[in-house]
Amino acid sequence: MDIKKIKSVISIKDVVCLVNDPEHLTRDFLGSNEVDYIRERYENQKHNQFLFNRLTHLVIVKIVKPEAESYKTREAFRKAGDEIQMELNKMKLSTCTVFATGVEKPGLIAFVEGCFLGNYQFIKYISDKEKRANTLTEINIFDDDISEIDLNLLRIRLEAVTRTRDLVNEPVMHLNAVRLAEAFQLMAEEAGIKVEVFNKKKIESLKMGGLLAVNSGSIDPPTFTVMEYKPENHKNTKPIVLVGKGVVYDTGGMNLKPGSFMNDMKLDMAGAATMAAVICAAAKAGLPLHLVALMPATDNRVNGNAFVSGDVITMHNGATVEVLNTDAEGRLILADALSYAHKFNPALVITAATLTGSAMRAIGKYGVVAMHSKAEAEMNALKISGNEVYERVAEFPFWDEYADLLKSDIADMKNIGPPEAGMITAGKFLEKFTGYPFIHLDIAGVAFAEKRDSYKPSGGTGFGVRLLLDFLQSSVIAD
C-alpha cells in the first residue's frame, strides 16, 4: 500500500473524515444537516462511524474518542484505521483520502498505521489470490502538520513490519536457514549496510557448538548472519547488538513435539526476522547509531545424527552444556551468538526469540516477556516505547536463585530447568553468556497469531519491530 501526502482538495474523491469529537466537524465535505445528524447519533446512540454516498464518491466519518492516557488514544486510532480499511475493502475501493480535524499528528499517524497494518495479507500460495486480494492500495493524507519526513519514517517502519510478517509466514520448504540468510543479505543490500553470512565451515571454525548441535539432525546447513550499520554520525561509542533466534522450523528434535504443537513451528525464526528488519529500517531512517545484528539460523529436526538428551555440548565460549531437552534448542543457538557478541564490546545487547511456552502461558498475546541484566535504564526506556507503540513490555524478575536451577552434575550448566518459571530460567541460561548490559525479549506469545486481532493479522504479526525502532529512535544508550 502506498502512503502519500496531497496538498489540494481539488482531486479528492472518497474521503475519510477523522475527528476526536463531532463538535470539530467542518463543512468541508459535509452539509449542515449531515453534521447535525452525526452529532445527534453520536450523542444519543453512541454511533462513531458514518457513511454518506455521494454517488460519485463516498464520505466516511470516523470519531475516535480520546482516552485518559495518550498512548491508549493512539491505539484507539490504530484500531479505527483497521476498521476503516475493512470498510473500504468491503466496498472494493482502491484509494481514499484521510482528512483530520481536531486530531493531533500522532493520532493521524496511528490511524494510517492501523489502516496499513490491517490491510496486510499473506496470500502468496492461494490459487485465486487476485480475487482474495484487498483492493485498497493507496492512502492519501490531507493535513498540513504531516511532513514528508514523518511519512518517510512511517513508510520505513511499516515496510519493516511487513517484511517480518512475510518471512515468518513463509513455509520452511521455501525458507530454510540458507534461504533465510539470503533474504537477510538482500535486505542489507537494499538498506546499504554491511552483511556477512558464515557458512557451516566457518561456524565449525568458530566452535559454535550450540548451533552445530541443533543443526546435527538436519540435511540443510546452518548459517550465521552478521549485519552492521555504522554511520559516520553515530552517537554511541559502543554498538548496540541485536540478536535474533533463527530456528526456521522446530520439530522439538528427539524430544519431538506432540500432537498439533508442530503446526506453526515455521514461526520459530521470528526473532531473527525481527532483528534483521529493525537494523535495516534503522539504516534507511538514518538513525545516528552504531548497530550490529546477529542471526544464527537452522532447523531442529530428527535423524540418526541428531543430538539427544544426555549429550554434553561445548559452546563458542568454551562452556559446557548438558542437554536435558532437545526442544530447548533456541537458547543454544542464541548462546553462541551472545558469546560472539563480546567481540563488539557492546553497550547493550538485546535478544528477541520465540523461546518458551512459559512466556505465552504467563501473559498470553498481550505483550512481551522481558528480563534484563545491568540495563535498568534501558529496560525502563523500552517499557515507555512499548506503551508508545502498544507493544507492551512485561518485566519479570531475574533473581540469582533462578540460575541455580540450571546447575549440572556433569557440565557447567543444563539447558533447561524445572517447569516453574521456564521463561526466566531460559533467560538466566542466556545471561551466562553475556557479562555486558543485556535485555532478553521472549516473544513466543506475540510473534504469531492463530486468528486476526484488529490490525494484527493471523500468522506472523511483526511484533517487536515497532517496539525496537521506537526504542532506538528515542533512547540514549549510556556507554
What is the spatial distance between Cα 241 and Cα 383, in angstroms, rounded to a whole number? Answer: 19
What is the spatial distance between Cα 213 and Cα 254, in angstroms, rounded to a whole number? Answer: 12
Q: Which three cell numbers stand for residue 12?
A: 479528492
Q: Is 202 a catalytic residue?
A: no
Question: 210 and 336 in contact (C-beta within 8 Å)?
Answer: yes
Exposed/middle/buried for residue 221 (C-beta within 10 Å: 0-12, 13-18, 19+)? middle
Q: Is 331 a catalytic residue?
A: yes
**Catalytic: which of 331, 392, 456, 466?**
331
Full 3-state SS string of the chain: CEEEECCCCCCCCCEEEEECCHHHCCCCCCCHHHHHHHHHHHHHHCCCEEEEECCCCEEEEEECCCCCCHHHHHHHHHHHHHHHHHHHHHCCCCEEEEEEECCCHHHHHHHHHHHHHHCCCCCCCCCCHHHHCCCCCEEEEECCCCCHHHHHHHHHHHHHHHHHHHHHHCCHHHCCHHHHHHHHHHHHHHHCCEEEEECHHHHHHCCCHHHHHHHCCCCCCCEEEEEEECCCCCCCCCCEEEEECEEEEECCCCCCCCCCCCCCHHHHHHHHHHHHHHHHHHHHHCCCCCEEEEEEEEEECCCCCCCCCCCEEECCCCCEEECCCCCCCHHHHHHHHHHHHHHHCCCEEEEEECCCHHHHHHHCCCCEEEEEECCHHHHHHHHHHHHHHCCCEEECCCCHHHHHCCCCCCCCEECCCCCCCHHHHHHHHHHCCCCCCEEEEECCCCCEECCCECCECCEECCCCHHHHHHHHHHCCCCC
- Cell 541455580 belongs to residue: 404
Buried b / exposed e across 453-479, counting CB within 10 Å, b at 16+? Answer: ebbbbebbbbbbbbbbbbbbeebebee
**Catalytic: which of 238, 257, 365, 374?**
257
Cα atoms found within 13 Å of the Cα of residue 33, Cβ hemisphere only = 1
Q: Are strands 58-63 and 49-53 parallel, antiparallel or unpaired?
A: antiparallel
By annotation, the residues acting in catalysis are 257, 331
